A and B are shown apart, each in its own frame.
Chain A
Amino acid sequence: NAGVMQNPRHLVRRRGQEARLRCSPMKGHSHVYWYRQLPEEGLKFMVYLQKENIIDESGMPKERFSAEFPKEGPSILRIQQVVRGDSAAYFCASSQANQETQYFGPGTRLLVL
Chain B
Amino acid sequence: GENVEQHPSTLSVQEGDSAVIKCTYSDSASNYFPWYKQELGKRPQLIIDIRSNVGEKKDQRIAVTLNKTAKHFSLHITETQPEDSAVYFCAASIDDYKLSFGAGTTVTVRA
Contacts and interface: CB of A to CB of B under 8 A. Distances in A.
A100 B101 contact: no
Interface in B32-73: 32, 34, 36, 42-46, 49
Interface in A54-76: 55-56, 58-59
- Looking at chain A, what size class is its interface with the partner chain? 20 to 34
A101 interface: yes
Interface residues of B, number: 22
Contacts of B42: 106
Nearest to A43: B101
Nearest to B42: A106
A100 B32 contact: yes
Given A100-B32, A101-B49, A45 B43 contact: no
A91 B97 contact: no
A42 B101 contact: yes
B96 interface: yes
Nearest to A3: B43
A80 to B, nearest CB: 24
B34 A42 contact: no
B101 A107 contact: no
A42 B89 contact: yes
B100 A45 contact: yes
